[in-house]
A and B are shown apart, each in its own frame.
Chain A
Amino acid sequence: MADQPQGTRHPGIDSNLPSKKWRLIYTGVTIFTAISILLLFLFSRHYSG
């Protein structure tokens, strides 16, 4: 077995907080998803009358 790496026993979320770059990327994915769902809703309303 490999040696136990640092921080794997009780890592906690705090020790892996994402960097600013990744926070921006996650925000972008969230906005993209919200827009996709909104477009689907509008698509549905437009064609379903």
Chain B
Amino acid sequence: MHPLDWLIVSLYLVYVIWNGIKLSRGPGGAEGFFLAGRSLPWWAVGLSVMATQMSAITLIGTTGQAYTDGMRFIQFYFGLPLAMIILCATAVPFFYRARVFTAYEYLERRFDARTRTLTSFFFLVSRGLGVGVIIAAPSVILSIVLGWDEVITIFVIGLSTTAYTMLGGVQAVTWTDVKQMVIIFAGLSFCVYEILSSLPPGVSLSDSLHLAGAAGKLQTIDFTFDLNERYTIWSGMIAALFLFLSYFGCDQSQVQRYLSARSVDEGRTSLLMSAFLKIPIQFLILLIGVLIFVFYQFQTPPMIFNEVDAARAAVLQPAEHQRLTNEMTDLHENRRIAAINLIEAPADGNSAQRAAYVDSDIAYLDKRREATEFVRETNADRNFSDVNYVFPVFVIQNMPIGVVGLIIAAILAAAMSSVAAELNSLATASTMDFYRRHFRSNSTEQGLVTFGRFATLAWGLFACIVATFATNLGSLIEVVNTFGSFFYGSLLGVFVLAFAVPGARSNGAFYGLLFGMVSVWIANTYTDIAFLWFNVVGCLVTVAAGYVISVVHPGAK
């Protein structure tokens, strides 16, 4: 990177830490540290909700996915607005009026202490490991693309975020999120402008979209009903609806955002901000991936975007690597000429040029698949994929000085905003659901804040250690994601029992949760249904089992 880019990234890191320290003088006491004294405006909470959800891997992975697979991924977000409406009508007023610190605290009021403790424990385990993965994923990519040391990158992201979260609590997390969202939007806007400026003379945005459309990159809606297909309109509207209900309604990392709002109405408005903006923002991010695809119709793309792994394979099998490189160069040139012919052809009589372009693109993609398989087999890495490297490699190799620094800062901002909210919520759940509930029920306000700060530091260090292992153990990431999917739908089921089933009792909630998790394990082991549908299975089984158990063996409440 150019020294100016380094300066921009360094200034960003110094600023967020300084800003966090400055905000440590916010409202006092436990409610001040954990919920900002319930004083934050809706727009700041709304931006924080979006920043928490948008991790670095969302930014990097989504653009890469659009480059390789088109815009189908946007269907995943179709259920989000409806989820937000349901939560505005249910979870937000219930949690806010109960004046709880954590979502799980509400479950003790409704059921019993063991349901609260079990759900909070599962949250701590899944999120504690998950935040390590959130740090690891961009660290691996940035270390390979920029040549940074992997462990140093992990600790720079992890410890700088821990520092301002520990000092400033939710106040620092939220206001830093707001500034980080500004940096992310600025980085993405510059990126779109630069890509469009880099296209050959005479190639307009409309031409670019027609090219991408011909290559099948703009297929946004798939009406096929197939439980094994990950992204269709049905999985987005139904299965993802359950996922978003669970994520925004039962996951402390999001619940804590809107509990810090000034009022119930401001909490609702902050969620509706996401309902309005999420689909357009995801469209913009996916469009960047599509525009990168168009850019590489005219510029030669790398054979494989993870150039470190490609170079390793080249050392082991140089002749095969050279053959693939030469063939891909020829196929790219054929595709480039076909793309120019398609753009220059009249719009109402271009079917021959269109067919030629589509054929040339298919030929190129087949060779790219062959090259990916070559790297996968040569390096004996069955999980190898370069999708997540497309965006950072494109930025480093093609963006002008200054914009590179801004976009790297935006990637770091996306990672840090998610990590900060996760650490903050982990600390809150540790303090309120365990320390105060089970060990120090008479703790002073200052004692709770001190423990909360200590817990933030401990979770930050734990996340960094998990991240250093996660970079080497691909299966650990799978374990974390799978465990999260076992938990999410079932957790939602417990809250449905709490909110909507007046006859639900403590035994039903507690054992219903366990039944739900077992049902997801069975679905995962014995069926091929796509991951998103696990949330539906877990929720429905938990509610059904919880209701039956409540009737047969109600327990205390």
Q: Chain A residues in contact with chain B, CB under 8 A?
A: 1-2, 4-5, 7-13, 16-18, 22, 25-26, 29-30, 32-33, 36-37, 40-41, 43-44, 46-49
Query: In the complex, what distance in Å separates the CA atom of A10 from the CA atom of B502?
Result: 5
B276 touches A29 (CB 8 A): yes
Does B321 reach chain A (CB closer than 8 Å)? no
CB distance from A31 to the nearest CB of B (A): 10
Nearest A residue (CB) for B85: A26
Does B220 reach chain A (CB closer than 8 Å)? yes
Q: A16-B94, A48-B218, A49-B213 are in contact. Are A33 and B109 (CB under 8 A)?
A: no
Query: In the complex, what distance in Å separates the CA atom of A36 from the CA atom of B85?
Result: 16
Query: In the complex, what distance in Å separates the CA atom of A38 from the CA atom of B557?
Result: 47
Output the residue of A10, A16, A48, A49 with the most chain B CB within 10 A: A48
B500 touches A43 (CB 8 A): no
CB distance from A27 to the nearest CB of B (A): 9
Q: A8-B109, A41-B221, A44-B221 are in contact. Are A16 and B85 (CB under 8 A)?
A: no
20 CB contacts below 8 A, A to B, read A2-B100, A5-B97, A9-B110, A9-B557, A10-B110, A16-B89, A16-B90, A16-B93, A26-B89, A30-B82, A30-B85, A33-B82, A33-B279, A36-B279, A36-B280, A40-B221, A40-B279, A44-B221, A47-B210, A49-B214
| 5 A-B pairs with the lowest CB-CB distances in the bound complex, closest first | A47-B213, A33-B81, A48-B213, A44-B220, A40-B220
Contacts of B272 in A (CB 8 A): 25, 29
A40 touches B213 (CB 8 A): no
Nearest A residue (CB) for B108: A1
Contacts of A32 in B (CB 8 A): 81, 276
Contacts of B81 in A (CB 8 A): 29-30, 32-33
Does B341 reach chain A (CB closer than 8 Å)? no
How many Cβ-Cβ contacts under 8 Å join chain A to chain B? Answer: 93
Q: Chain B residues in contact with chain A, CB under 8 A?
A: 71, 74, 78, 81-82, 84-85, 88-90, 93-94, 97-100, 106, 109-110, 209-210, 212-214, 216, 218-221, 233, 268, 272, 275-276, 279-280, 283, 354, 437, 441, 499-500, 502, 557
Nearest A residue (CB) for B206: A47
Contacts of B500 in A (CB 8 A): 12-13
A47 touches B212 (CB 8 A): yes
A8 touches B213 (CB 8 A): no
Q: Which of B216, B275, B283 contacts A29 (CB 8 A)?
A: B275
**20 additional contacts (CB under 8 A) given A8-B106, A22-B88:** A1-B441, A4-B109, A8-B94, A8-B97, A9-B109, A9-B110, A9-B557, A10-B502, A11-B94, A11-B499, A13-B89, A13-B500, A33-B78, A33-B81, A40-B74, A44-B213, A46-B213, A47-B218, A48-B213, A49-B354
CB distance from A10 to the nearest CB of B (A): 5
Nearest A residue (CB) for B93: A16
Contacts of A36 in B (CB 8 A): 279-280
Query: In the complex, what distance in Å separates the CA atom of A18 from the CA atom of B86?
Result: 11
Nearest B residue (CB) for A46: B213
B109 touches A22 (CB 8 A): no
B502 touches A44 (CB 8 A): no
CB distance from B216 to the nearest CB of A (A): 7
A47 touches B209 (CB 8 A): yes
Contacts of B276 in A (CB 8 A): 29, 32
A5 touches B99 (CB 8 A): yes
CB distance from B322 to the nearest CB of A (A): 36
Query: In the complex, what distance in Å separates the CA atom of A10 from the CA atom of B221?
Result: 41
Query: In the complex, what distance in Å separates the CA atom of A44 from the CA atom of B74?
Result: 12
Query: In the complex, what distance in Å separates the CA atom of A45 from the CA atom of B93?
Result: 41
CB distance from B38 to the nearest CB of A (A): 13
Q: A2-B99, A29-B272 are in contact. Are A37 and B213 (CB under 8 A)?
A: no
Query: In the complex, what distance in Å separates the CA atom of A40 from the CA atom of B283?
Result: 9
Q: Which of B89, B233, B354 contacts A22 (CB 8 A)?
A: B89
CB distance from B96 to the nearest CB of A (A): 10
Q: A22-B268, A43-B220 are in contact. Are A12 and B85 (CB under 8 A)?
A: no
Contacts of B90 in A (CB 8 A): 13, 16
Query: In the complex, what distance in Å separates the CA atom of A1 from the CA atom of B116?
Result: 14
Q: Which of B89, B283, B354 contacts A18 (CB 8 A)?
A: B89
CB distance from A39 to the nearest CB of B (A): 10
Query: In the complex, what distance in Å separates the CA atom of A27 from the CA atom of B531?
Result: 30
CB distance from A22 to the nearest CB of B (A): 7
CB distance from A29 to the nearest CB of B (A): 5
Nearest A residue (CB) for B268: A22
Query: In the complex, what distance in Å separates the CA atom of A41 from the CA atom of B75?
Result: 11
Q: A4-B109, A5-B99 are in contact. Are A37 and B499 (CB under 8 A)?
A: no
Q: A16-B93, A40-B74 are in contact. Are A29 and B84 (CB under 8 A)?
A: yes
A33 touches B275 (CB 8 A): yes
Contacts of B354 in A (CB 8 A): 49
